[in-house]
Amino acid sequence: MSLLKNIKGDRGIWGVFLLLAIISFLPMYSASSNLANVIGVGSTSGYLLKHTLILLLGFVVLYFMHRIPYRYFSGSSALLLPFVFLLLVYTLSKGTTIAGATASRWIRIPFVGVSFQTSTFAGVVLMIYVARFFSKRKDKVIDFRESFWKLWVPVGLILMTILPANFSTAAILFLSVVVLSMLGGYPIKYVFNIIGIAMVALVLFIFVGRAFSSSLKAKTDTWKNRIVNFQDTNPKDDYQVEKAKIAIATGGMFGRGAGKSVQKNFLPQSSSDFIYAIIVEEYGLLGGIVVILLYMWLLFRMYVVARKATTVFATLLVIGVGFPIILQAIINMAVASNLMPVTGQTLPLLSSGGTSIWMTCFAIGVVLSVSATELDVLDKNIEDESPLDVLYEAVD
């Protein structure tokens, strides 16, 4: 009971988190049979136990983060950013490859035997840093040269160390930073300048990478093939997408029933990247809609928290760490529905994977920290204009 008394923040966000966590067990248990029975790795009960432990640790992370006053995240992000950059560089050079990946994304934590995907942690820290940058300049005219060195160079360094191993994550973070910058009052003309610089840098990276690195050449070939297969009406190499489409098509309105998926035996990533297809196959269109509505409700509750925030940093913080979660969910479901090329993004809280769940819990904990702090009576004396108010005035 003492634990429940110490739970603070937006009840709607807590409710969505618990619902997604509870819902994840049946699809995870069903989809993991592909690894256990078809591939012959582990057991379904073992995967279920692992998922349970991951979620429990995720809850601990969420609980711990939501008890920290959000203002402490500002200074912490500035201190952590250089460490994150070094961690990403180390991951690229010494990281562990998993499932035959052509570039390293993980590092193995000593004495624990757990692999940690550093890019997801880097993404949360980076978004907090961007929120800090614009909150510090809420009443100042933003100079492009200053912002380039103090904002975009750090952002660029982080993204360039994520890009070789995980293009989709780098793209999501860049889009999130751009959106947050616009809400933070960054001039539109500067935004276009940054987008242009980013496109040139990406092209140079691809050409130089293909010329001097065989692994990067293989990686860029993968990016190209995914786009070509998505555009091709008769693709030759999109086995996973075809199986996902079959799973969704055969799910019908009410689905085959819990644990009765057929395509889970053929989808290599049935418990992670394509778990949404398994959900629709087993629980039908209604089950798929329920999942979408849960993420939309999470988005709405985060909007409410951002709208009620009394400081610029609080508003930008909620948007910065919350928007990527929803964007990742949309991309995952769009890929499973063949509305986007394959990206390798998991479905937050529903897919398997330790780091993804933990960092989602980390981000939700930060949002809850804002809502919990803003509910404190002492914070009623803080007067600050929310960036959303500025946005409303501009629209009106």
Mean pLDDT within 276-290: 93
Are 320 and 367 in contact, with CB atoms under 8 Å apart? no
In whole angstroms, give the CA distance from residue 340 to residue 320.
Answer: 23
What pLDDT was estimated at residue 210?
Answer: 75
Q: Can you give the pTM of this predicted structure?
A: 0.87
With a cut of 60, say whether residue 373 has pLDDT above it.
Answer: yes
With a cut of 70, say whether residue 382 has pLDDT above it.
Answer: no
What pLDDT was estimated at residue 95?
Answer: 57
Helices (H), 148-184: 153-162, 167-183
Neighbouring-strand partners of residue 107: 116
With a cut of 50, say whether residue 122 has pLDDT above it.
Answer: yes
Phi, psi of 117 (to 5 degrees): -90, 110
Are 360 and 295 in contact, with CB atoms under 8 Å apart? no
Mean pLDDT comparison of 107-121, 220-234, 244-258, highest-scoring range: 244-258
Are 183 and 319 in contact, with CB atoms under 8 Å apart? yes
The HSE-up count of residue 95 (CA atoms within 13 Å, CB side) is 27
Identify which has the larger pLDDT, 108 or 363: 363
DSSP symbols for 306-327: HHH-SSHHHHHHHHHHHHHHHH
Mean pLDDT within 303-321: 93
Helices (H), 39-166: 44-66, 72-94, 118-135, 144-147, 153-162
In whole angstroms, give the CA distance from residue 73 to residue 363.
Answer: 11
Q: Which two tokens stand for residue 319?
A: 């948007």
With a cut of 90, say whether residue 380 has pLDDT above it.
Answer: no
With a cut of 90, say whether residue 128 has pLDDT above it.
Answer: yes
With a cut of 90, say whether residue 93 has pLDDT above it.
Answer: no
What pLDDT was estimated at residue 393?
Answer: 41
Domain boundaries, the chain: 7-395
What does the mean pLDDT of the chain come to? 83
Q: What is the pLDDT of residues 154-207, one digit of tens each?
A: 999 999 999 888 888 899 999 999 999 999 889 999 999 999 999 999 988 888
What pLDDT was estimated at residue 273?
Answer: 84
What pLDDT was estimated at residue 98?
Answer: 52
CB atoms within 10 A of CB 6: 10
With a cut of 80, say whether residue 389 has pLDDT above it.
Answer: no
What pLDDT was estimated at residue 359?
Answer: 92
Q: Lowest-pLDDT range, 65-69, 80-84, 132-136, 211-215?
A: 211-215
Under the banding of pLDDT at 50, 70 and 90, the label for residue 310 is confident
With a cut of 80, say whether residue 211 has pLDDT above it.
Answer: no
What pLDDT was estimated at residue 48?
Answer: 84
With a cut of 80, say whether residue 388 has pLDDT above it.
Answer: no
In whole angstroms, give the CA distance from residue 31 to residue 263.
Answer: 9
Q: Which two tokens stand for residue 158?
A: 């982080």
What pLDDT was estimated at residue 297?
Answer: 96
What pLDDT was estimated at residue 391?
Answer: 45
Identify which has the larger pLDDT, 295 or 28: 295
Under the banding of pLDDT at 50, 70 and 90, the label for residue 110 is low
CA separation, residue 63 to residues 24, 70, 83 (Å): 19, 13, 24
With a cut of 70, say whether residue 296 has pLDDT above it.
Answer: yes
What pLDDT was estimated at residue 375?
Answer: 64
Identify which has the larger pLDDT, 391 or 314: 314
**pLDDT above 90 as % of the chain:** 44
In whole angstroms, give the CA distance from residue 338 to residue 328.
Answer: 15
Q: Please, which contacts does 256-261 make with residues 24 or more away whose CB atoms are closer than 8 Å? A: 256/281, 256/282, 257/282, 258/26, 258/30, 258/282, 258/283, 259/26, 259/29, 259/30, 260/30, 261/30, 261/31
By the 10 Å C-beta count (0-12 exposed, 13-18 middle, 19+ buried), 3 is classed as exposed
Q: Which of 20, 101, 42 minimizes the C-alpha distance to 326?
A: 20
Q: Please, which contacts does 76-81 make with residues 24 or more away whose CB atoms are closer than 8 Å? A: 76/128, 77/125, 77/126, 77/128, 77/129, 77/131, 77/132, 78/129, 78/132, 80/125, 81/125, 81/126, 81/129, 81/154, 81/158
Q: From the centroid of its chain, how far is CA 44? A: 26
Mean pLDDT within 291-310: 94
Q: Is 129 helix (H, G, I), strand (E, B) or coil?
A: helix
